[in-house]
Amino acid sequence: MSNSFNFEYKPLPWNIIFGTGAVSKLNQELESFGFSKALVLTTPNQADEGCKISNLIGNNAAGHFDQAAMHVPVETFNAATKMARHINADCTIAIGGGSTTGLGKALAVKSNLPNIVIPTSYAGSEMTNIWAITENERKITARDNAAVPTLTIYDPGLTLTLPPKFAAASGLNAMAQAVVNIATDNINPLISSLALDAVRALANSLPLIITEPKNMKARSEALYGASLAGAALGTGTTSLHHKICHTLGGSFNMPHAETHAILLAHSVAYNAAATPVGTEKLGDALNSDNAALAIFNLVERLKGPKSLQEIGFNEQDIDRAAEITLESVFSNPEPVTVDKLKKLLRNAYEGTAPQSF
Ligand code: NAD
Got the DSSP string for 180-238? TTTSSSS--HHHHHHHHHHHHHHHHHHHHHHH-TT-HHHHHHHHHHHHHHHHHHHHS--
Give the pTM.
0.95
pLDDT digits (tens, 9 = 90+) for 97-144: 999 999 999 999 999 999 999 999 999 999 999 999 999 878 888 999
Contacts of residue 225, defined as CB under 8 A and 6 or more positions apart, other chains included, come to 122, 171, 174, 175, 178, 197, 198, 199, 200, 201, 202, 205
Cα angle 97-68-215, degrees, rounded to a multiple of 5 = 20
What mean pLDDT do residues 269-288 have? 98
What mean pLDDT do residues 65-93 have? 97
State the distance from the centre of ligand 1 to the C-alpha of 101, rounded, in angstroms.
8
pLDDT at residue 3 above 70? Answer: no
**Sequence-ordered alpha helix ranges (H) in 87-139:** 98-111
Pick the range with the lowest mean pLDDT from 3-12, 137-146, 295-304, 339-348. Answer: 3-12
- Binned at pLDDT 50, 70 and 90, residue 357 comes out as confident
Cα 180 → chain centroid: 13
pLDDT digits (tens, 9 = 90+) for 18-58: 999 999 999 999 999 999 999 999 999 999 999 999 999 99
State the distance from the centre of ligand 1 to the C-alpha of 160, rounded, in angstroms.
15
pLDDT digits (tens, 9 = 90+) for 241-258: 999 998 999 889 999 999
**Sequence-ordered alpha helix ranges (H) in the chain:** 26-33, 47-57, 74-86, 98-111, 164-179, 189-211, 216-235, 240-252, 256-271, 276-285, 291-301, 318-325, 338-350
What mean pLDDT do residues 65-89 have? 97
pLDDT at residue 2 above 60? Answer: no
Q: Which atom of ligand 1 is nearest to the CA of 128?
A: 40
Contact 171 CB / ligand 1 (< 6 Å)? no
State the distance from the centre of ligand 1 to the C-alpha of 268, rounded, in angstroms.
23
To test the ligand 1 pocket, which listed residue (40, 51, 121) has its Cβ within 8 A of the most ligand atoms?
Answer: 121
Task: Output the pLDDT for position 4.
Answer: 56
State the distance from the centre of ligand 1 to the C-alpha of 335, rounded, in angstroms.
31
Contact 281 CB / ligand 1 (< 6 Å)? no
Angular region, 27: left φ>0, alpha ψ -120 to 50, beta rest: alpha
State the distance from the centre of ligand 1 to the C-alpha of 5, rounded, in angstroms.
35
Contacts of residue 305, defined as CB under 8 A and 6 or more positions apart, other chains included, come to 169, 258, 261, 262, 299, 311
Task: Output the pLDDT for position 257.
Answer: 92
**Strands 91-96, 115-119: parallel, antiparallel or unpaired by DSSP?**
parallel
Q: Which of 289, 279, 277, 299 is nearest to 203 (CA)?
A: 299
Task: Output the pLDDT for position 162.
Answer: 97
Helix (H, G, I), strand (E, B), or coil: what is residue 111? helix
Separation CA 357–CA 340 (nearest Å): 7
Contacts of residue 197, defined as CB under 8 A and 6 or more positions apart, other chains included, come to 225, 228
Contact 227 CB / ligand 1 (< 6 Å)? no
To test the ligand 1 pocket, which listed residue (125, 139, 251) has its Cβ within 8 A of the most ligand atoms?
Answer: 125
Contact 129 CB / ligand 1 (< 6 Å)? no
Return the DSSP state at 335. Answer: P
pLDDT digits (tens, 9 = 90+) for 319-337: 999 999 999 889 999 999 9
CA nearest ligand 1 atom 40, residue: 125
State the amino acid at position 334 in one-letter form. Answer: E
Q: Which of 297, 254, 246, 48 is nearest to 40 (CA)?
A: 48
Separation CA 153–CA 119 (nearest Å): 7
**Burial of 122 by CB count in 10 Å (0-12 exposed, 13-18 middle, 19+ buried)?**
buried
